Amino acid sequence: MSAPPALFDRQLLARRLDRAADGFAQAQFLRDRSVEDLIDTLSAINRQFDLALDMGARDGSFGRALTGTPVEGKIGLLIEGELSPRLSARQGGTARLVMDEEALPFGDDTLNLVVNALGLHSVNDLPGVLVQVRRALKPDGLFIGSLFGGETLKELRGCLMDAEIEVRGGYGPRIAPYAESPDLIELLKRTGFNMPVVDSDRVVVTYEHPLRLMADLRAMGESNILHQRPRKGLNRAILEKASTLYFERFADAEGRIPATFELITLSGWKAHDSQQKPLRPGSARMRLADALGVQEGKI
């Protein structure tokens, strides 16, 4: 089978993350939100994870956030794997590894837990990454990850497109396409995970100006890394027009503009004999009508 098309320039992503390393902590409020959700999920799981991987660990915020939580005692050794060497150097853990999420350097049945906070939306082959994660997990191992969903930056996307069409007579992709929740539940099943769960949360952040939003995106390392990105940058005329459209369409009563971010969290377990299995069709010992206490009739 041929490899999927490469949408993202991963080498450019590493350079952008390196560039953002010095101020990364000041603009990672969305990642902090995702890390908090991961820890809340793990807090409710009564399980020990002797060897865990933070895949796409960035500056190690997940590892630091574990301190003082119920999850801290559940994780033995946490490996912090990160694409950016400069961000990796800022991690506080004892097991740091510069690595690409698209090529996990682990053997089969090695890890008990793999987490990822807001990094999966920039991999070229998400099914392939999930298959690698499942293979690296031990039986009954857990994967929890998060990524931006389809509603992310919908306001900015439309304004930039319309502004570039008006100024240049055409437009190129400035914001990456993002996955949709219904597709991800099926993807987890197709890549071999048991008991898949997908949750979506929308976060709306307000800004005084669209340029402040764009500055935050650069500080997060989330600027455009599409291979097919336009080689012409956004000139002053396009930015001014996009800003005008943004205010006209979305400004609130106080003159601030919203930016929508959809955070999707997905999780699944590697198969193990101890896990619950669905009943065989026709094996039920009670009719549904009897279980519900209702009268059965014809439709």
DSSP string, 130-171: HHHHHHHEEEEEEEEEEEEBTTTTHHHHHHHHHHHHHHHSS-
111-125: pLDDT as tens digits: 999 999 999 999 999
Residue 211 · residue 156 · CB < 8 Å: no
Q: Which two tokens stand for residue 202?
A: 């929308």
18-52: pLDDT as tens digits: 999 998 988 899 999 999 999 999 999 999 999 99
For residue 219, what are the contacts with CB-CB under 8 A and spacing of at least 6? 20, 23, 24, 26, 27
pLDDT for 284 beyond 90: no
Tell me, what's the pLDDT at 166? Answer: 94
Q: How confident is the model at residue 204 (pLDDT cuts 50, 70, 90)?
A: very high
Alpha carbon distance 94, 104 (integer Å):
19
74-132: pLDDT as tens digits: 999 999 999 999 999 999 878 999 999 999 999 999 999 999 999 999 999 999 999 99
Q: How confident is the model at residue 7 (pLDDT cuts 50, 70, 90)?
A: confident
Please compute Rg for the chain using Cα positions.
Answer: 22
221-278: pLDDT as tens digits: 998 899 888 878 889 999 999 999 999 999 999 999 999 999 999 999 999 777 666 5
| Of 179-193, 221-235, 273-287, minimum mean pLDDT range | 273-287
Tell me, what's the pLDDT at 110? Answer: 97
Place of tokens 């807090």: 43
Instruction: State pTM to two decimals.
Output: 0.87
54-64: pLDDT as tens digits: 999 999 999 99
